[in-house]
Chains A and B, each alone.
Chain A
Amino acid sequence: EAQVTQNPRYLITVTGKKLTVTCSQNMNHEYMSWYRQDPGLGLRQIYYSMNVEVTDKGDVPEGYKVSRKEKRNFPLILESPSPNQTSLYFCASSFGVRSRELFFGEGSRLTVL
């Protein structure tokens, strides 16, 4: 089954404790991206990657890091989480410029205390 898989789905952590949210897709997509969803703000792009070893900032990259060492994986790293990073995070992928349609994971709800 074609899918985007994120882990963990739910996480409660404390300020400053590094964490990683993993994302993996099995559709051989070139393009991957992270969004955060906040009430009343819709979804905003954090980072994106057009291919292996190619990443760039989206609209709200502060406090986040990413890496793309393999085509299928695109982890999101919070080096020192803060309460304003409490949010619902979505990983998404697509074939890139050939198709702008994004396929989304089921989301990771992060709470930073």
Chain B
Amino acid sequence: AQSVTQLGSHVSVSEGALVLLRCNYSSSVPPYLFWYVQYPNQGLQLLLKYTTGATLVKGINGFEAEFKKSETSFHLTKPSAHMSDAAEYFCAVSDQTGANSKLTFGKGITLSVRP
């Protein structure tokens, strides 16, 4: 069975500061990894994904994440936070086998950005 751990429920940073949202996963098979963002009253939007190949993945809005197999991690970073980054962020894992394209989600982290 797969699982995702996102420690903490809330992160607060100042505008212009580094954003670091942590994600650790558990999977018995090579994983696909995703970060989604959810703005208030909206659905989930894909930020970035790792499938195979390069372990440093760049996404939209200046976000990037690095897949570290030895640490079973897929942390999300952004060098400089913007007010518009305030949202809830979900890390998710899917296995590369099986017919069910289910994503197993973490509990989510709310990012606040202070002026």
Contact = CB atoms under 8 A, between A and B. Distances in A.
A79 interface: no
Interface in A11-38: 31, 33
Contacts, number: 63
A42 B101 contact: no
B100 A90 contact: no
Contact of A45 (B32, B42, B102): B102
A40 B9 contact: yes
A4 B42 CA distance: 12
A56 B44 contact: no
A102 B103 contact: yes
Interface residues of A, number: 27
B67 to A, nearest CB: 15
A99 to B, nearest CB: 8
Interface residues of B, number: 25
A59 B22 CA distance: 25
Q: In terms of DSSP, what is the predominant structure of the interface of chain B?
A: loop
A101 B99 contact: no
A23 B17 CA distance: 39
B85 to A, nearest CB: 19
Max chain A C-beta neighbours (<10 A), residue from B4, B9, B43, B108: B43
B50 to A, nearest CB: 11
Interface in A47-79: 48, 50, 56, 58
A99 B34 CA distance: 12
Interface in B20-67: 32, 34, 36, 41-46, 49, 51
Q: Which 4 A-B pairs have the closest CB atoms?
A: A104-B43, A42-B105, A100-B94, A42-B107
16 contacts: A40-B9, A43-B44, A43-B105, A45-B102, A45-B103, A90-B43, A96-B101, A97-B101, A100-B34, A100-B51, A100-B101, A102-B103, A104-B36, A104-B44, A106-B42, A106-B43
Given A42-B106, A45-B103, 8 more contacts: A31-B101, A33-B101, A42-B107, A44-B105, A48-B101, A96-B99, A100-B94, A104-B44
